[in-house]
């Protein structure tokens, strides 16, 4: 039986080609994304490994909070370094400090200053060679506070060498330094694409962090002392000295382990989003496979019936189809995995084109991700073929006698009921979830709704197509009429073909509407609540704005009020929240915070403001107490002084005074500075003055409110475009599905086409008919997808109303464009099958 | 000579509908080539038609120099043993297949000079074809099938004419049905109605009754006969059945790709005799 099946697959390889293409594409995407993410992870892991290569133990602050932008950990008193050095078994110990630092090029611009470049690393030069990841290749270590060592890649790119004077920009400001040496990071020219600037040990804390404090103490063990042993000894020495509460000790290996896998946070959507798109692609592929096997199954009814008549059992028939699917799936998946390696390069290029900085170096092609992708593809193929296989096995032996009939099944009561129930549940869950602002039910509702729509597809498809195709018959005559009837003749197939497109279109519409809504909501939010004239932001989050920015801008006679915002993650009842540090006296000169109870001005050293939505959720009122846990200082209790409406940027759900903020997160810099223009000063005058003041801080960006809107809009747009490109693959696969379904249907309708040609249908009319058939199927998919996408978007926007996205905006032109892409794509997909149909030899088609 | 009664036909087309005559007992060729009528140009003809399939060892001369006229307003039966080239001849006349050599004319049009598109239009506008089976598009209703060539030409079917064809073929009340919902006989009637609906110059039917029982077959044959008589339609029909051939004005016998005999006003007996002589 197996050999028979292999032969039958081989004999039909032409027909399997398009089906296989869908599997190949889906698997290639999956393999490509996992190769790429694997490569990235390896690159980032490489940084962590190199950084702590010969470090035997690390002493660090015990408290940590995982915020959106990575783990935030407290700092240690620098005096601890000497304490550790004196521990028996410790050969050497250095205090490490690191923070963003950017080299300014000879032209006064940032040496690698793209908004999406990997953020350069500033660090303390560690005197102990084995603790230091840097290897000098020219010059010497920095000794004076005015000396730095830079990485070889930056030195080469910017043309700096030992003895050159350079400007380095850190969050504490820009300063002039002398390059004392050039170094490699481990054996690489830079740290995974990021430049490195190392400062003299004594000056590093002052330049990069807080004077007298270090991020961690790195320990090298004495010969013969194991990592565990030295960690244990340092630990007990700290405990003996009463320092155990502030600090903890881990082995070097453990510290590296912790870092592994966390390093990709620079491009979080790489890890989170790409697999989602891969899954979508595979899912769409599954529809195509399902359909292909349904159609070939229907075409082989007679063959199957003969098999059954000569005594093949149902199980044998089913197994034959499944084995066929297995063979097809395996072959296509292996091809897909191979193609995936190429696709990984393409994806990397694509991401770079969209401004996402990725570390250089060769692709790491692991056997595992490829095997996983290939296995997934095979399994998906077999699973998708299961229902058609079951149906095939139900063919009665007498069916051998019947001609290929028109399959009008699909409108069964059971299916209609199931579809209606699922759709209803989905709508109810989505709507109630949306109203309650809960994303979970919305997601589950969306899934149920999609399942319901898929189940209802065969019931709705013929009705929809007959209605939508009515004008076509008038417009295109018989060709249009035949297109309509052919599209409607197999409801299940048509629905499955359209469903693949529905999913892709629904996602595109959802994301388009969501992005447009986010943008409109943000604009409205700015218009409504912003009173300030100027917004200053850092190039990247990690750069921050040093205190000098607010100070110098405030000192300008052209500015009136200046206020700052900074953020720190904190734990609240097991959840991580972001706490903003604001100036209670000035913030209302820049923002309408919409106080509902209490006043922002009342925020003192222990006061906290809470956004209205969170306050309602948590039942907080003015006068209640809230305990936050900070990485640096641990638990701190605050009293609610104000409940405000404006919980979107730049306030967020929790605000404290700058005073309270600094007491708990001393080394965190401003992220946003607002300024108003002084009375009587023109806009241009103010801009010129502020820009001049910011010249010393090339990482700071000045925007008017309108400019700020367009910057954010631009960022949304860029992400949106990337998502479009990724979803485009799903749409392409579903178009393959249309092409495949048509190609198979034409095989099935050979005689009909022959007859039509015999009684005078011209080739052009044959082609037009098939094109219009594709358009009708695509129209069904697009309309359903658009409706679902709009519904999902509405639910999401409603659910997120409290998070600043409170207006539903439907980008009409864009949606029309999406629809046009679907329909034009369908015409393109139909081109080849249409050509083939038109070229059929009339007599041969009629008689064989 | 053509005033011959086909008395030997005993099967009466019973259930063929009200508009039909009881049996094809009337005189044939009344509107056709009467004694006094001037000779008309043939509706179609072939000149030394040769069709060769395959090459070398596998070479088959399906048509081996066939020269034949199909008179206008006449009903011609093409007969011959299996594989003698009957279908090939009909396909050549219909413009469904080209010749290896020789010429085919429909009216004055030399099909050999027509390109693919003009051949298609010729089939659509000037020829009606009835196949042995699979004549109808399953997704179209009976009526839609009947007017298909007209609609393909972008012409509005004349409702009076279509109504007449429909009722002549006893298809009233069935026009909205799709082929799978019709009996085999009804399907063939729809097919013949389609072949006649655009008033073609010539109707070509390849064993139109081959799949039907004799009663249903006689029905179809009556219709064709009637079309020739009342509408001056030219009909060429391939058949194996001497009874079917007896409905025709003339029977042409093919063997091994050549015309080997011809009978005017055949009866089933005369056809049987001829077949016996030809060793059929
Ligand atoms: N496409 C083809 N390729 C090769 N040979 C063919 C082809 N079509 C017909 N033939 C051969 O040409 C010859 C005539 O075929 P044709 O179909 O015209 O016969 P026929 O008289 O219609 O027979 P039947 O009564 O069985 O229908 C036969 O020998 C047949 O095998
Ligand atoms: Mg034949």
Query: What is the gyration radius of the CA atoms in chain B, in angstroms?
Result: 18
Cα A465–chain centre separation:
36
Is the distance from CB of A195 to CB of A154 less than 8 angstroms? yes
Q: How far is CA A352 from CA A118, A270, A725, in A?
A: 12, 12, 13
Q: Which of A688, A703, A718 is a domain's end point?
A: A703
Q: Flag residues of chain A having pLDDT under 70.
A: 1-2, 4-5, 8-15, 65-72, 108-119, 242-245, 261-272, 355-361, 397-411, 802-803, 848
| Whole-number pLDDT of residue A549 | 82
Residue of chain A nearest B95, judged by CA positions: A758
Sheet holding A216-221, edge to edge: A90-96, A216-221, A57-61, A247-251
3-class DSSP state of B144: helix
Residue that the structure tokens 């692609």 belong to: A281
User: Could you tell me if B57 lies within 8 Å of chain A, comparing CB atoms?
Assistant: no
Instruction: Give backbone dihedrals phi and psi of A72, rounded to 5 degrees, phi first.
Output: -105, 125
- Nearest to residue A725, comparing CAs of A504, A527, A543, A488? A504
CA distance A603 to B71: 110
Residue of chain B nearest A484, judged by CA positions: B139
Cα A776–chain centre separation:
33
| Whole-number pLDDT of residue A102 | 82
Q: Which of B54, B77, B84, B205 to mutate to test the pocket of ligand 1 (most atoms within 8 A of CB)?
A: B84
Question: From the candidates B120, B130, B200, B207, which should be mutated to test the interface with A, based on the most A CB atoms within 10 A?
Answer: B120
Residue B147 pLDDT more than 60?
yes
User: Could you tell me if A475 lies within 8 Å of chain B, comparing CB atoms?
Assistant: no
- Distance, in angstroms, between A309 CA and closest chain B CA? 24
Beta-ladder partners of B128: B203
Q: Are residues A640 and A522 in the same domain?
A: no
Residue B44 pLDDT more than 80?
yes
Is residue A134 included in any domain, yes or no? yes
B278 lines ligand 1 (CB under 6 A): no
Q: Are residues A146 and A46 in the same domain?
A: no
User: Could you tell me if A750 lies within 8 Å of chain B, comparing CB atoms?
Assistant: no
Q: Which of A222, A252, A282 is a domain's end point?
A: A252
Read off the pLDDT of residues B208-265 as tens digits, 9 standing for 90 and up.
888 788 888 888 898 899 889 988 999 999 998 999 999 999 999 999 999 999 999 9
Distance B93 CA to ligand 1 centre (A): 15
CATH number of the domain located at residue range(s) B71-80+117-278 in this protein: 3.40.50.300
| Whole-number pLDDT of residue B236 | 95
Q: Are residues A563 and A493 in the same domain?
A: no
Q: Are residues A234 and A261 in the same domain?
A: no
B239 lines ligand 1 (CB under 6 A): no
Residue that the structure tokens 């846990």 belong to: A629
Q: Which of B55, B64, B77, B87 to mutate to test the pocket of ligand 1 (most atoms within 8 A of CB)?
A: B87
User: Could you tell me if B40 lies within 8 Å of chain A, comparing CB atoms?
Assistant: no
Is residue A813 included in any domain, yes or no? yes
Is the model more confident about A249 or about B29? Answer: A249
Q: Are residues A617 and A520 in the same domain?
A: no
Residues of B in contact with A758 (CB under 8 A): 94, 96, 123, 129, 131
DSSP string, A496-525: HHHHHHHHHHHHHHHHHHHHHHHHHHHHHH
Residue that the structure tokens 């996983």 belong to: A372
CA distance B212 to B205: 14
Distance A450 CA to ligand 1 centre (A): 54
Instruction: Compute the CA torsion angle A585, A586, A592, A595 (nearest 10 deg).
Output: -10
Q: Are residues A605 and A586 in the same domain?
A: yes
Name the DSSP letter for residue B157. Answer: P
Under an 8 A CB cutoff, do B123 and A758 touch? yes
Residue that the structure tokens 């358009």 belong to: A775
Is residue A752 included in any domain, yes or no? yes
| Whole-number pLDDT of residue B64 | 92
Q: Are residues A628 and A540 in the same domain?
A: yes
Please work out, in degrees rounded to the nearest 5, the angle formed at the alpha carbon of residue A729 by the alpha carbons of A724 and A733: 140
Residue of chain B nearest A475, judged by CA positions: B154
Domain count, chain A: 4
Q: Are residues A103 and A2 in the same domain?
A: no
CA distance A25 to B14: 63
- Four-residue CA torsion sign, A740, A744, A750, A753: negative
| Whole-number pLDDT of residue B49 | 93
Is the model more confident about B85 or about A350? Answer: B85
Q: On the CB side of A511, how many CA atoms lie within 13 Å of its CA? A: 20
Q: Are residues A30 and A77 in the same domain?
A: no
3-class DSSP state of A620: coil
Least CB–CB distance from B180: residue in A406, A481, A761: A406
| Whole-number pLDDT of residue B106 | 93
Is the distance from CB of A594 to CB of A583 less than 8 angstroms? no
Q: Which of A364, A387, A405 is a domain's end point?
A: A405
User: Could you tell me if A756 lies within 8 Å of chain B, comparing CB atoms?
Assistant: yes
Residue of chain A nearest B200, judged by CA positions: A759
Q: Are residues A665 and A563 in the same domain?
A: yes
Is residue A440 included in any domain, yes or no? no
Distance B63 CA to ligand 1 centre (A): 9
- Range of the structural domain that residue A608 is part of: 534-703
Is the model more confident about B194 or about A318? Answer: B194
DSSP string, A421-450: HHHHHHHHHHHHHHHHT-HHHHHHHHHHHH
DSSP string, A190-254: SBTTB-EEEE-HHHHHHHHS-TTEESEEEEEEPTT--HHHHHHHHHHHHHHTT-TTTEEEEEHHH
B82 lines ligand 1 (CB under 6 A): yes
B98 lines ligand 1 (CB under 6 A): no
User: Could you tell me if B125 lies within 8 Å of chain A, comparing CB atoms?
Assistant: yes
Distance B86 CA to ligand 2 centre (A): 6
Q: Are residues A92 and A19 in the same domain?
A: no
Query: What is the gyration radius of the CA atoms in chain A, in angstroms?
Result: 33
| Whole-number pLDDT of residue A405 | 47
Provide ipTM, 2 decimals: 0.84
| Whole-number pLDDT of residue B202 | 94
Is residue A368 included in any domain, yes or no? yes
Q: Are residues A248 and A280 in the same domain?
A: no
Under an 8 A CB cutoff, do B123 and A760 touch? yes
Decide the pairing of beta strands B60-70 and B202-206: unpaired
| Whole-number pLDDT of residue B25 | 37
Name the DSSP letter for residue A694. Answer: G
Under an 8 A CB cutoff, do A759 and B131 touch? no
Count of CB atoms within 10 A of residue A362's CB? Answer: 6
For residue A134, what is the enclosing H or E element? Answer: strand A134-139
CA distance A146 to A178: 6
Residues of B in contact with A846 (CB under 8 A): 131, 134
**Cβ partners under 8 Å of residue A596, min gap 6:** A612, A643, A644, A645
User: Could you tell me if B134 lies within 8 Å of chain A, comparing CB atoms?
Assistant: yes
The most distant pair of C-alpha atoms in chain B lies apart, rounded to whole Å, by 56
Instruction: Give backbone dihedrals phi and psi of A635, rounded to 5 degrees, phi first.
Output: -75, 135
Is residue A61 included in any domain, yes or no? yes
Beta-ladder partners of B272: none
The most distant pair of C-alpha atoms in chain A lies apart, rounded to whole Å, by 101
User: Could you tell me if A740 lies within 8 Å of chain B, comparing CB atoms?
Assistant: no
Is the model more confident about B204 or about A679? Answer: B204
Mean pLDDT within B75-99? 92
């Amino acid at each position: 039986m197996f050999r028979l099946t292999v032969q039958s697959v081989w004999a039909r390889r032409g027909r399997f080609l398009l089906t296989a293409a869908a599997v190949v594409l889906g698997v290639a995407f999956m393999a490509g994304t996992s190769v790429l993410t694997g490569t990235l992870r390896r690159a980032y892991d490489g940084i962590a490994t190199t950084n702590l290569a010969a470090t035997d133990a690390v002493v660090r602050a015990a408290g940590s909070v995982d915020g959106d932008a990575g783990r935030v950990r407290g700092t240690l008193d620098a005096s601890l370094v000497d304490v550790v050095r004196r521990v028996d078994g410790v050969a050497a110990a250095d205090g490490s400090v690191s923070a963003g630092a950017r080299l300014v090029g000879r032209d006064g611009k940032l040496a690698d200053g793209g908004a999406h470049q990997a953020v350069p690393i500033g660090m303390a030069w560690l005197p102990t060679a084995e603790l230091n990841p840097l290897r000098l290749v020219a010059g010497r270590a920095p000794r004076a506070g005015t000396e730095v060592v830079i990485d070889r890649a930056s030195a080469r790119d910017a043309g700096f060498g030992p003895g050159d004077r350079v400007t380095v920009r850190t969050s504490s400001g820009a300063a002039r330094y002398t390059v004392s040496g050039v170094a490699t990071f481990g054996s690489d020219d830079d740290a995974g694409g990021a430049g490195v600037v190392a400062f003299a040990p004594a000056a590093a804390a002052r330049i990069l962090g807080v004077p007298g404090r270090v991020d961690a103490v790195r320990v090298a063990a004495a010969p013969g002392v194991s990592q565990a042993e030295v960690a244990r000894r340092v630990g007990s020495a700290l405990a003996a000295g009463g320092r155990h509460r502030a600090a903890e000790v881990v082995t070097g290996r453990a510290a590296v382990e912790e870092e592994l896998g966390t390093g990709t946070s620079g491009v979080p959507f790489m890890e989170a989003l790409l697999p989602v798109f891969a899954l979508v692609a595979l899912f769409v592929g599954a529809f195509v496979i399902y359909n292909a096997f349904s159609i070939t199954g229907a075409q082989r009814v007679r063959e199957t019936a003969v098999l059954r008549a000569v005594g093949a059992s149902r199980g044998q028939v089913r197994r034959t189809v499944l084995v066929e699917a297995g063979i097809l799936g395996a072959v296509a998946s292996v091809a897909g995995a191979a193609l995936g390696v190429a696709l990984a390069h393409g994806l990397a290029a694509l991401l770079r084109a969209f401004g996402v900085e990725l570390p250089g170096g060769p692709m790491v092609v692991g056997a595992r991700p490829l095997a996983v992708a290939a296995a997934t593809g095979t399994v998906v193929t077999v699973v998708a073929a299961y229902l058609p296989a079951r149906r095939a096995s139900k063919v009665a032996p007498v069916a051998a006698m019947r001609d290929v009939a028109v399959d009008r099944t699909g409108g069964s009561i059971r299916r209609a009921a199931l579809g209606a129930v699922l759709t209803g549940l989905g709508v109810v869950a989505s709507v109630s979830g949306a109203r309650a602002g809960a994303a979970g039910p919305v997601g589950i509702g969306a899934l149920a709704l999609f399942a319901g729509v898929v189940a209802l597809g065969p019931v709705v498809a013929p009705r929809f197509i007959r209605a939508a195709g009515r004008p076509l018959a008038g417009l295109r005559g018989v060709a249009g009429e035949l297109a309509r009837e052919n599209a409607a003749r197999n409801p299940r197939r048509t629905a499955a073909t359209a469903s693949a497109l529905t999913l892709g279109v629904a996602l595109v519409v959802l994301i388009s509407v969501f992005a447009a809504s986010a943008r409109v909501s943000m604009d409205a939010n700015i218009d409504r609540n912003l009173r300030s004239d100027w917004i200053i932001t850092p190039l990247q989050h990690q750069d921050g704005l040093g205190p000098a920015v607010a100070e110098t801008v405030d000192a300008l006679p052209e500015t009136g009020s200046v206020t700052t915002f900074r953020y720190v993650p904190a734990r609240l009842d097991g959840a991580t929240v972001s706490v903003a540090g604001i100036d209670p006296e000035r913030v209302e000169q820049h923002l309408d915070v919409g106080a509902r109870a209490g006043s922002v001005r009342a925020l003192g050293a222990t006061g906290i403001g809470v956004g209205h939505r969170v306050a309602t959720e948590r039942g907080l009122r003015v006068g209640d107490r809230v305990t936050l846990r900070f990485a640096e200082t641990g638990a701190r209790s605050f009293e609610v002084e104000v409940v405000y409406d404006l919980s979107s940027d730049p306030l967020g759900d929790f605000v404290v005074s700058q005073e309270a903020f600094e007491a708990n997160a001393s080394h965190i810099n401003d992220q946003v500075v607002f300024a108003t223009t002084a009375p009587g000063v023109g806009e241009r005058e103010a801009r010129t003055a502020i820009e001049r003041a910011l010249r010393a801080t090339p990482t700071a960006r000045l925007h008017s409110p309108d400019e700020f809107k367009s910057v954010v809009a631009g960022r949304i747009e860029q992400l949106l475009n990337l998502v479009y490109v990724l979803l485009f693959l799903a749409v392409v696969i579903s178009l393959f599905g249309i092409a495949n379904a048509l190609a198979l249907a034409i095989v099935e309708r050979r005689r009909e086409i022959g007859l039509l040609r015999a009684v005078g249908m011209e080739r052009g009319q044959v082609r037009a008919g098939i094109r219009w058939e594709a358009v009708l199927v695509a129209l069904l998919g697009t309309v359903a997808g658009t409706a679902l996408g709009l519904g999902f978007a509405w639910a999401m926007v409603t659910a997120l109303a409290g998070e600043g996205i409170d207006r539903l905006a439907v980008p009409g032109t864009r949606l029309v464009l999406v629809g046009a892409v679907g329909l034009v794509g369908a015409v393109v997909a139909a081109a080849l099958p249409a050509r083939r149909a038109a070229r059929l030899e009339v007599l041969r088609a009629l008689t064989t | 000579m053509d005033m011959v009664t086909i008395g030997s036909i005993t099967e009466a087309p019973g259930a063929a509908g009200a508009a039909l005559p009881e049996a094809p007992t009337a005189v044939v060729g009344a509107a056709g080539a009467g004694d006094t009528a001037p000779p008309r140009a043939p509706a179609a003809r072939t000149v030394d038609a040769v069709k060769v399939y395959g090459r070398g060892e596998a070479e088959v001369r399906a048509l081996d120099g066939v020269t034949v006229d199909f008179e206008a307003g006449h009903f011609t039966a093409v007969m011959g043993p299996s594989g003698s080239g009957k279908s090939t001849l009909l396909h050549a006349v219909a413009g469904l297949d080209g010749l290896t050599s020789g010429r085919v004319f429909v009216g004055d049009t030399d099909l050999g000079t027509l390109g693919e598109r003009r051949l298609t239009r010729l089939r659509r506008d000037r020829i009606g074809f009835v196949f042995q089976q699979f004549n109808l598009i399953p997704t179209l209703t009976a009526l839609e099938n009947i007017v298909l060539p007209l609609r393909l030409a972008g012409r509005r079917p004349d409702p009076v004419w279509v109504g007449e064809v429909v009722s002549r073929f006893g298809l009233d009340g069935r026009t909205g049905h799709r082929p799978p919902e019709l009996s085999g006989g009804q399907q063939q009637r729809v097919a013949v109605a389609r072949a006649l609906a655009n008033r073609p110059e010539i109707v070509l039917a390849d064993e139109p009754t081959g799949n039907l029982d004799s009663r249903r077959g006689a029905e179809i044959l009556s219709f064709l006969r009637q079309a020739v008589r009342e509408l001056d339609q030219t009909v060429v029909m391939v058949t194996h059945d001497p009874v079917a051939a007896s409905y025709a004005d003339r029977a042409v016998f093919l063997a091994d790709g050549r015309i080997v005999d011809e009978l005017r006003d055949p009866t089933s007996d005369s056809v049987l005799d001829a077949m016996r002589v030809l060793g059929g």
